[in-house]
Amino acid sequence: MKANLQSLKPHRKDKETPVPDSEFEIINRYFSSRASDSENIILGIGDDAAVISTPADKQLVVSVDTLISGVHFPSQTSAADIAWKALAVNLSDLAAMGATPAWFTLALSLPEVDHHWLAVFSDSLAEISSIYRIPLVGGDTTRGALSITIQVAGHVPVGRALLRSGAKVGDQIFVSGNIGDAALGLYVLQQQSERNEDIDYLLECLNRPQPRIDLGQALTEVASACIDISDGLFADLSHILKASGVGAQLQQDHIPLSEVAKRFLSDKENRLTGIYNRGDDYELCFCVPAEKCSQLYAIEKLSACKLTCIGKIVTGNELQVFDAQGKLVDISHDNYDHFAEKI
């Protein structure tokens, strides 16, 4: 099966102009001409460095993530999906901090100059950067194994960034969206499952995560702690617990699964373990003091994103997960190695 979700449509520029070979021409053709303006960008791509103003009442929130072919995405992933995911996972970090996207840089390492690949990659990158209104202001282009490093910056009002360290005993724990779809996407990719609507949905979840930017900003008003789920719900919630010096109790049957995931998992052939902790969800996991929970209904509506209470913060330092019968679930082996095992 082909992993590519997008057919690689030819780029119109391929036919018009001769193939550029220098680094400068590549930057010019695929990146600087695509960069969009923003009032804070005094100088973008083209000089030795970008010049950017930061509004006086804001703090800068900065993060960087590298995606390496064969490690962070299967090598057959389409250029369009790679570009989307590379920026989306970084935007997800901004969302987790409650930040508004401001600008990003791109360090691209390419094994060869493949114009078709570059055209599709830069089209997709321009698409997501315009959706989330985050302009590209600079970068670096080198030859080497395929890797994409994106640095993002965002703004938060002074002192308002959402941290991992603020969870308090009694807070309710929520997640956005559904958990596990991206992990199932990777599973069906590895199984080379035949395509149908459900499989397409799962692959879309794997390749096109939707960073919860609007939700993150709204949560600065109510959440005591927040993290984005990149490594797995239990693993990432544990970071909140450690940073906040608290424990948590979760109801496993409250953890939201999509209808597709439920259908998929009810099939005897697909009895997977570790579905809740596989990562790549890029949903937000956050804590809210009980008295502020009523505000979440408005936030849920505003951000058009389902929010589900999955448990509460307790004393101690443990993460305990209970099944529907109230029995403690052993999550100590809920990790990557065990995920794909059939039981």
Tell me how far, at minimum, the Cβ of 87 lies from ligand ADP, in Å.
Answer: 12
- Residue with smallest beta-carbon separation from Mg ion: 140
Residue numbers 156-185 binding ligand ADP by CB under 6 A: none
Return the residue of 67, 83, 94, 136 that touches ligand ADP, per CB under 6 A.
Answer: 136
Give Cα 107 distance to the centre of its chain: 18
* Residues 205-244 contacting ligand ADP, CB under 6 A: none
| Closest distance of CB 287 from ligand ADP, Å | 37
Stretch that binds ligand ADP, among 134-142, 174-182, 208-216, 328-336 (CB under 6 A): 134-142
Select 89 or 136, whichever has its Cβ closest to ligand ADP. Answer: 136
Q: Which of the listed partners (ligand ADP, Mg ion, none) does 218 bind, with a CB threshold of 5 to 8 Å by partner kind?
A: none
CA count, 13 A, side-chain hemisphere, 297: 2
Of the candidate residues 14, 23, 140, 323, the single one contacting Mg ion (CB under 5 A) = 140
Query: Can residue 135 be called a binding residue for ligand ADP (CB under 6 A)?
Result: no
14 is a site residue for Mg ion (CB under 5 A)? no
Give the x/- contact pattern for ligand ADP in 93-132, rule: CB under 6 A: -------------x-x------------------------
Under rule CB under 6 A, which residues in 32-61 are in contact with ligand ADP?
45-48
Neighbours of 277 (CB within 10 A): 28
Instruction: Identify what 148 binds: ligand ADP, Mg ion, none; CB under 5 to 8 Å per kind.
Output: none
**Beta carbon nearer to Mg ion, 48 or 337:** 48
Q: Which does 211 bind (CB under 5 to 8 A by kind): Mg ion, ligand ADP, none?
A: none
Judge contact between 184 and 99, C-beta under 8 A.
Answer: no
Nearer of residues 45 and 237 to ligand ADP, judged by Cβ: 45
Is the Cα dihedral 187, 237, 149, 41 positive or negative?
A: positive
Chain residues in the site for ligand ADP (CB under 6 A): 23, 27, 31, 45-48, 106, 108, 136, 138-141
